[in-house]
Structure 1
Amino acid sequence: MLIRFSVKNFLSFASREDNMSEEFSMIAGRVRGKKEHLYDDGKIKLLKFAAVYGANAAGKSNLVKAMDFMKQVVISGLPDRHTEKYCKVNPENAMKPSYFEVEILLDGKYYSYGFEIILSQSRFISEWLVELHADNSEKILFTRDIANGTYELGGMLARKGLKEKLDVYADDIRGDGSVLFLAVMNQNKKNLYESHKTAAILKNVFLWIKDSLDINYPNQPISDYSYLAQTDKVSEVCRIISAFGTGITDFALVDVPVEKVLHGLSKNLQDKILSNIEQKQVEVRNHPQIKGINMILRTLADLFIIMIDGSDTVKCQTIEFSHGRKNVLFNLEEESDGTVRILDLLEILLSGEGKTYVIDELDRCLHPSLSYKFVETFLNLAAEKNIQLIVTTHESRLMDFDLLRRDEIWFVDKKENGESDIYSLEEYNARFDQKIDKAYLEGRYGGIPIFSTIFPVERA
């Protein structure tokens, strides 16, 4: 689970006056009510939901982009055009370090992983992984001072036998500012982790960032709808879809030819899909214990399931929906944008333990009542499992103390110089009987647009 995320000198986030990074925290505040909204292990209390508000261009999406940037860098290296992503409000920031740090709860322990980088030069200057303790003490697992060509291994990673192995990899990139140690330690290291179980923290932190931190943007599909292919969930899926007022009462898997799957796609994408199918066929052929492999192809307009069975046969299906009459089916493209949005979001409600979803513009295409209902449903489900949802939104109806705790509401506000600030409603000690949405729209908490005169009135 996510504990905290910190960022400095990235897009609209510079640094606070004390040179500290901007911090977004899922640590619970002083609120006493709605304890079912929390994860509580006796040492730390974490929120399972947070809504981030702010005016257009205030920096809400930049918070999501900062999380996503850190994830991309760890998993696949520096993305295109990263050299221009420092905070440009001050030209001097081009040569200052950008800072990214994530604190997570993993297997009952707390860890902090982060790095600093001078983006304009594509040069990492430091990296660290630290085990945190409830008494505010910490234990270094590894640190790198790349500029000075030094590193340190500690804790479980400094155990005899393992340290000598890790020294080889760490020394090899001692002064290399183009790579991260965490990324290197997750490239073809299967034998190492099988031989040294205590090294698994390097793999587990990497996998949390890769698989458990699920970041989604409004112009991209959130889900591939693979949950619809799980037959044991069919009735539950239908019940939830119907409860959200979409009009959908059932769905069916309909056979389609491979040609339809490929229709309208670029030649490069067609070749890639056909190559993937061939690779999966070889995998099934060479491993008789594998009964079959399913591939999901999701576009904005349609969804296909490509199935390769044990006999090497390729079968393609699409999912179509009925609205009362089972003999009349509608494909994904024929459903409304709001229905497609709900179908996307259902994955969150059906997810298992351990995921942290970040959704930019949750309320896109949703009626205000539907946004409220979705968050209410999530919170009810989250009371029974450890899952987190962080959303950016303009939907002020969610600012309701009957629905949310005070510490679950966050704001991003842009200062006159263009820098963004992140802060929580918890800082305001708002009364529980107050109309928070009204106070917010009146500008009490910031994070709203400030208008000038659009059409000046000429005076005689």
Structure 2
Amino acid sequence: MEVGEGITDYSVENTMSSGEIDVVKSAFIFGGNASGKTNVIRAFQLLRQIVVDGTSSELELLPRYTFANESGDTNFKIHFTKNGNLYYYELNYDWDAIINECLTMNGVVIFKRTADEITMPPLIKDLKESLRVNQPLLFFAQTNNVPEAKEAYEWFAQDILMPSLINNNLRNQQLFRPLHTNPELKEKVLYFLRAADFNIKDIKTQEVIVPISSDPDKSEKVLLLHCEHEGPDGSRFVINYNVESIGTQIFLLLIMTILENQHNSKLFLIDEFDRSLHPKLVTILLRIFNEWNRTGTQLIATTHDTDILDAPLRTDQIWFVDKSYDGVSILDSAFDFNEQSIKDIKKNYEDGLYGADQIINDAMMKDILGISDREEDTRYGETV
């Protein structure tokens, strides 16, 4: 998310300072289907899961998501800021053990761990023997109230937001619980929906108790969400959230999440950002995350919509994912192609200059469908 050297376009609107580092407010990842775009989001999701959940015993295997299910180690390195402090965190692990782990704050080592040696924070230096081999030290240190570890842990636990834009079933409606508990937030969401030309006059929430499918003898509370609309004669009618259009579901979820966190610095990770949204709604969301963003929030999103490249963006906000012949995903920035202007990127990308494209073999498809070249030429009024 660091800015590209020498790029001055939209510096005020699309970039911000984080300590001594200048960063972009949003980044968009392009690539064909099955190219690996979603894996960028999954990587954050996996690292967050390991840090936030820890392990319950030495018998628990650490979660992994390796290329082609290979048996190699999993390695993460990440820089982030929290409350003005710059953190660096590294984690390297196998199925059943942490191999390397390190946390620094503003260049000072808070803890460091290898397979042979552990440098514990002074506050918990006597608890070294209590640390399990498969327990992240970041989780262990924050549990024991090490201030720097607590702050870093809070970034993973509270500041990474991944609103799911697909499969919004009954269970996922729990994401809308703030609308049930915060009337002020609900009014803001309704105001925004009216401004965006959605015919939603009210949002109704209701808690119901339903049996757990895996154990019918037990039950759980589930939140039901309904949207109230106005008919042509002024009458009101209610539609269940699940049967609203996909675009309405997505926009409602995004706007609620954005407004709930509008005064806090967050990292939004969104897969298929533009899914089923009108281009004008996509434009508004881009302005929210870039031009109107005053809180230090950042967005990393995957997309197929090349029209986003017509928006006021910088080359250092555009990324491409392409697969090698071995099936390995490679992530490149448009800035790495020495592109100084966003204007040429759309055409170059559509022409396949950066890779990250969907390569369709028409001849193979016609062959399996039994369509000959002569038949196709005749259909379009041509003769051979």
Aligned residue identity for 1:140: V
What CA distance in whole angstroms lies between the structure 1 residues aligned with 2:187 and 2:119? 53
1:333–1:375 Cα change, 3 Å:
same
Q: Give runs of aligned pairs for residues 46-445 of structure 1, distance below 5 A.
A: 46-77=23-54, 85-88=65-68, 93-94=70-71, 96-118=72-94, 121-132=95-106, 138-145=107-114, 147-148=115-116, 150-153=117-120, 157=121, 163=122, 165-173=123-131, 176-187=132-143, 189=144, 193=145, 199-221=146-168, 223-224=175-176, 226-227=178-179, 229-248=181-200, 250-253=201-204, 261-263=208-210, 266=213, 268=215, 271-273=218-220, 297-298=222-223, 302-303=224-225, 319-323=226-230, 325=234, 327-350=236-259, 351=261, 352-382=263-293, 384-400=294-310, 402-432=311-341, 434-445=343-354
Question: How many aligned positions are there?
Answer: 355
Q: Secondary structure at the match of 2:292?
A: helix
Task: Find the residue that maps to 1:219 and give its secondary structure.
Answer: coil
Residue 380 of structure 2: aligned partner: none
**1:306-343 Cα shifts (integer Å, max 9, x gaps):** xxxxxxxxxxxxx4322364633333234212111110
Tell me the distance in 2 between the aligned counterparts of 1:83 and 1:211: 20
TM-aligned CA distance change 1:87 to 1:263, over 3 Å: closer
1:435: how far off?
4.0
Inter-partner Cα distance in structure 2 for 1:342 and 1:459: 45
In 2, Cα distance between equivalents of 1:413 and 1:77: 33
Native 8 Å contact 1:359 1:389 kept in 2: yes
**Residue of structure 1 equivalent to 2:382:** none
CA distance in 2 between counterparts of 1:112 and 1:433 reads 31
Which residue identity does 2:353 align to in structure 1?
Answer: R
* SS at 1:45 equivalent: strand
| Residues in 1 aligned to 2:187 and 2:63: alpha-carbon distance in whole angstroms | 49
Gaps (5+ residues) in structure 2? Answer: 375-384
CA displacement 1:165-221 (0-9 Å, x = unmatched): 411223433xx431111112233x3xxx4xxxxx31111111110111112444354
Q: Aligned partners of 1:436 and 1:242: how far apart in 2?
A: 35
> Displacement of 1:227 after TM fit?
4.2
State the alpha-carbon separation in 1 of the partners of residues 304 and 314 from structure 2: 17
| Partner AA of 1:414 in structure 2 | K
Q: CA deviation at 1:353?
A: 1.3
Structure 1 unmatched ranges of 5 or more: 1-25, 133-137, 158-162, 194-198, 275-296, 304-318
Give the TM-score normalised by the residue count of structure 2: 0.82
Cα shift readout 1:215-263 (whole Å, capped 9, x = no counterpart): 2444354842514653334543223112333322x20546x6x6xx235
Preserved CA contact (<8 Å) 2:204 2:228? no
Distance 1:237 1:321 in 2: 13
Percent identity at matched positions?
Answer: 23
Partner of 1:17: none
Counterpart of 1:65, as a letter, is R
Cα drift, residue 52 of structure 1: 0.8
What RMSD, in angstroms, separates the aligned Cα atoms of the two structures?
2.9
Shift of 1:272: 4.8
Q: Secondary structure at the match of 2:142?
A: coil
Bigger drift between 358-367 and 108-117 goes to 358-367
- Greater shift, 428-437 or 27-36, is seen at 428-437
Take 2:41 and 2:160, find their aligned partners in 1: how far apart are those partners? 11
Cα distance, 1:455 vs. partner? 1.9
Residues 233 and 455 of structure 1, relative CA distance in 2, 3 Å threshold: same
Once residues 171 and 444 of structure 1 are traced to their aligned partners in structure 2, the CA distance between those partners, rounded to angstroms, is: 55
- Please report the TM-score for the alignment, with normalisation by the length of structure 1: 0.70
